[in-house]
Amino acid sequence: MSSISPVAADTATTTVVIYSGGMDSFTVLHRALREGLNVHVLSFDYGQRHARELDTARQVCASLGLPHQVVDIRAIHGLIDNSALTNPAQAMPQGDYDADNLRATVVPNRNMILLSLAIAKAVNIGAERVDYGAHGGDHVLYPDCRPEFVEAMNHVAGIANFEPVKLHAPYLKVSKADILRDGLAMGLDYRHTWTCYEGRELACGVCGSCRERLEAFAANGVTDPLAYSVDSAVGQR
C-alpha cells in the first residue's frame, strides 16, 4: 500500500473520518492524512449486506497504524431494513445509477445517523471536524449526499454542542472519476478498497456501485485492480 507523506498543516487539528472501506472514503482518508491532520477513523456496521467493506477498512487502518473504531449499530436494523443494501431478501438492482432504477438501494436516513454519531465522537475527543465522502455523482439518487443536506448538517454540527464541529465533504461537487484522479495523483492503490453492493468473494461488476466505479477507471484510462466475476456483464472494460 502506498505511503502518504503529510504536507504542511496545523498538526493540532484532529478530524474524524467516516470510512466505509470504499474508494471514495479511502481517498478522503488519505487526503486528510496528506493534510497532516490527526486522524481518527470511524466505520459502521449497520447490517449492510456488503459488510466485507468493513474488513477492507480494518486492513487499511491496521496497515497505516491509525486508530480505528467499528461501531456496531445493527440494533437499528429493523428501522432501516427497507433497502436492498440491508435486506438480502430484496433483489439488488443492476445497471447504471438512475433515480428509478436504484431507488431500492437508499438506506433510510443513513448519512444523518452516521454523521450524528461521528459528530458525537468528534466532540468526545476534541476533534474540530468530521470528513465524509459524499460526491456529485450521488446527488441524483441520494438526498443525504446533496449540497443542501451537507450545508444543513454543517450548520447543525456548529450549534448542537458546546464545541462546534465542521463537516468536511471535499468531493461534494465533483464526480467519482475526479475522486479517482485525485487518488491516483496521490499514488493510492485501489486494490485496498471494496465498492460492490454484493458481499461476495469477487465484485459483481453489474450493480450500480460497481458500474460507476468501472466507469471512473475507464474515464481515467486505467484498469481497475479489483477482480470481477467472470460472468459479469461489464467486467473489466
Per-residue DSSP letters for 181-227? HHHHHTT--GGG----SS-SSSB-S-BHHHHHHHHHHHHTT----S-
Specify the higher pLDDT residue, 237 or 154. Answer: 154
Q: Is the pLDDT of residue 21 over 70?
A: yes
The pLDDT of residue 69 is 97
Specify the higher pLDDT residue, 82 or 175. Answer: 175
Q: Is the pLDDT of residue 138 over 80?
A: no
pLDDT, one tens digit per residue, over 38-79 is 999 999 998 876 688 999 999 999 999 999 999 999 898 887
The pLDDT of residue 4 is 43
The pLDDT of residue 63 is 97
- Backbone angles phi and psi of 185, in degrees to 5: -65, -25
Across all residues in the chain, what is the average pLDDT?
A: 85
pLDDT, one tens digit per residue, over 189-205 is 999 999 988 878 899 99
| % pLDDT > 70, the chain | 78
Contact 102, 208 (CB under 8 A): yes
> Any residues with CB less than 8 A from the CB of 158 and at least 6 apart, and which?
164, 165, 166
**Cα–Cα distance for residue pair 156/138, rounded to 1 Å:** 22
The pLDDT of residue 136 is 82
pLDDT band per the 50, 70, 90 thresholds, residue 80:
confident
Element (H, E) at 167: strand 166-168
Contact 218, 236 (CB under 8 A): no
The alpha carbon of 8 is separated from its chain's Cα centroid by a whole number of angstroms, namely: 25
pTM of the model: 0.86
